[in-house]
């Protein structure tokens, strides 16, 4: 078997549309009864519109379909077969597969609930987008087969990815435009973000011996040329950052020195040797070579974009930032409602109980929800972070390295729009689990989210 094709990149592309687990589930009563789970099923979601070939039929997932998905999940984790039930890895893998399978069903049900209208053309385009990430049709087919997927399975994932994207778009589009007054309020409350402090370029002599500083002052007042500063600093200064540079220090901002030296530096005229000035760390002589005053970007000023694009107004940048944050909050709020609604409709067979089943008691968690996401190499016992994963190979255009997989995360608690995180294997990690209230939204302020993936390569 070619392990080159059975790689993190190829597996992630084919499994990239699978929703990995979310955050804490809070049961809510919606006035509905709970479905019974037939003996040949592993779970029933009380919504007959949930149909996915090979997975769900009328909201039910059969044991046969789950066993297929369990094998696919094993291959996703670089295992060629499902471990025996006596193997400790078996329960971990089964729980991971069960959680992912339920959430796939939820996403399909949510798409129906929102009345999303997907055309065959759109689904085929989504499928072609998956295939286009492979160098050839042959590479795609080998990776598909080695992952235990059929063409119909990949088509299901293409459909799922399309549903996820449309749900996210709907939530984000529900956030209106930011008004001028809201942007102005933000500017007034955070003016320090738009302020560039005063800066000075100076030459300085530092020494705990005041007599040495006085000798340096005498020499500099006779000749304060750059050449003499270099000679004097080498002889008399003990400042390790400047003594070999003629005492030169650039981009000095307020607060760089102890008082009274700090005030003296920013009050002194340009081109005049000053000193001696004594602080708790020593005695100083200095001369200001240049000074840049404090500047404040105005609300209507135009500045260069942080992303290197065309210059934009400060006001517009603020509006974009506020809207992005409001979209994150809307996604987080949607995620809570989404989990509550669908958990309440989900019943699982006793041997398949996991987070997401309304009849799950919450005992014997496979990871510690009070801790942060697991680190590469399997360190720690924290639950992996929630994310919808969509992965592709890095390139110079995306700021990544060729051959290194990059993933964008979108979902109830995503990273900022456009953010990505290098694909990180979870070696020996626990399956996705719950997070305590509040932690699911911790990344919404802008941090990237780690994406759990298959082990090996």
> Per residue, what are the HEC states of 358-378?
CCCCCCCCCCECCCCCCCCCC
**The pLDDT of residue 323 is above 90:** yes
CB-based contacts of 54-58 (< 8 A; 24+ apart in sequence): 54/150, 54/152, 54/153, 54/156, 55/101, 55/104, 55/105, 55/156, 56/104, 56/105, 56/108
Distances in whole angstroms, Cα of residue 356 to Cα of each of 45, 49, 233, 338? 11, 19, 69, 11
Which residue, 373, 345, 367, is CA-closest to 431? 367
What does the pLDDT read at residue 93? 93
**The pLDDT of residue 54 is above 50:** yes
Which has the minimum average pLDDT: 139-148, 179-188, 212-221? 139-148
Question: Which is more confident, 325 or 430?
Answer: 325
Which has the minimum average pLDDT: 17-26, 55-64, 234-243, 278-287? 17-26
Q: What percent of the chain has pLDDT over 90?
A: 56
Strand, coil or helix: what is 213? helix
Q: What is the pLDDT of residues 206-215, one digit of tens each?
A: 999 999 999 9
DSSP 46: S
Residue 98 dihedral angles phi and psi, to the nearest 5°: -65, -45
Question: ∠429-434-437 over CA atoms, to 5°?
Answer: 135
Q: Locate tokens 């059975």: which residue?
A: 6
What does the pLDDT read at residue 183? 93
Distances in whole angstroms, Cα of residue 78 to Cα of each of 93, 131, 346, 363, 389? 12, 21, 29, 28, 18
Could you tell me the residue ranges of all domains in the chain? Answer: 8-176+321-445, 198-293
What does the pLDDT read at residue 290? 96
Q: What is the pLDDT of residues 240-256, one digit of tens each?
A: 999 999 999 999 999 99
What does the pLDDT read at residue 305? 65
Supply the pTM of this predicted model: 0.60
Topology of domain 198-293, per CATH?
Chitinase A; domain 3 (3.10.50)
363-367: average pLDDT: 49
Distances in whole angstroms, Cα of residue 447 to Cα of each of 63, 134, 444? 39, 29, 7
| Residue 282, strand partner residues | 279
Q: Locate tokens 């500047």: which residue?
A: 295
Helices within 147-290 (DSSP H only): 151-173, 180-189, 210-222, 226-236, 261-267
What does the pLDDT read at residue 457? 29
123-139: average pLDDT: 91
Distance CA(152)–CA(362), nearest Å, equals 35
What does the pLDDT read at residue 307? 62
What does the pLDDT read at residue 361? 86
308 dihedral zone (left: phi>0; alpha: psi -120 to 50; beta): left
The C-alpha R_g of the chain, in whole angstroms, comes to 30
Distance CA(226)–CA(348), nearest Å, equals 80
Q: Locate tokens 């210059």: which residue?
A: 311
């Amino acid at each position: 078997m070619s392990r080159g094709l059975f790689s993190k990149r190829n597996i992630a592309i084919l499994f990239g549309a699978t929703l990995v687990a979310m955050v804490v589930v809070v049961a809510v009563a919606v006035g509905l009864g709970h479905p019974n789970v037939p003996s040949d099923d592993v779970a029933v979601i009380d919504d007959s519109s949930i149909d996915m070939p090979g997975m769900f039929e009328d909201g039910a997932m059969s044991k046969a379909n789950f066993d297929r998905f369990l094998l696919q999940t094993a291959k996703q984790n670089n295992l060629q077969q499902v471990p025996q039930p006596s193997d400790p890895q078996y329960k971990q893998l089964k729980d991971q597969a069960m959680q992912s399978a339920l959430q796939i069903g939820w996403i399909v049900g949510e798409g129906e609930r929102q009345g999303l209208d997907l055309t065959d053309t759109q689904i085929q385009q989504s499928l072609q987008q998956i295939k286009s990430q492979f160098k050839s049709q042959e590479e795609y087919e080998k990776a598909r087969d080695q992952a235990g997927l059929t063409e119909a399975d990949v088509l299901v994932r293409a459909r799922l990815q399309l549903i996820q994207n449309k749900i996210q778009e709907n939530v984000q589009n529900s956030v209106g435009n930011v008004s001028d007054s809201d942007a102005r309020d933000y500017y007034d409350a955070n003016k320090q973000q738009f302020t560039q402090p005063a800066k000075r370029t100076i030459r300085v002599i530092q020494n705990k011996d005041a007599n040495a500083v006085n000798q340096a002052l005498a020499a500099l007042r006779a000749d304060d040329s750059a050449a003499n500063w270099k000679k004097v600093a080498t002889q008399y200064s003990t400042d390790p950052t400047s003594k070999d540079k003629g005492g030169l220090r650039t981009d000095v901002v307020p607060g760089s020195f102890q008082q009274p030296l700090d005030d003296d530096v920013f009050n002194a005229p340009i081109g005049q040797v000053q000193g001696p000035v004594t602080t708790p760390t020593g005695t100083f002589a200095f001369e200001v070579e240049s000074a840049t005053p404090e500047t404040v970007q105005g609300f209507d000023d135009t500045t260069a974009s942080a992303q290197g694009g065309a210059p934009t107004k400060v006001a517009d940048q603020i509006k974009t930032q506020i809207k992005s944050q409001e979209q994150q909050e809307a996604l987080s709020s949607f995620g809570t409602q989404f989990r509550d609604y669908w958990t309440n409709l989900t019943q699982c067979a006793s041997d398949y109980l996991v987070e997401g089943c309304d009849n799950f008691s919450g005992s014997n968690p496979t990871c510690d929800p009070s801790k942060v996401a697991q680190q590469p190499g399997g360190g720690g016992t924290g639950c992996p972070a929630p994310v919808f994963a969509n992965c592709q190979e890095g390139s110079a255009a995306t700021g990544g390295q060729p051959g290194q997989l990059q993933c964008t995360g979108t979902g109830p608690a995503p990273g900022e729009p456009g953010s990505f995180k290098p694909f990180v294997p979870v070696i020996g990690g626990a399956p996705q689990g719950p997070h305590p209230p509040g932690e699911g939204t911790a990344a919404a302020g802008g941090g990237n989210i780690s994406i759990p993936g298959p082990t090996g390569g």
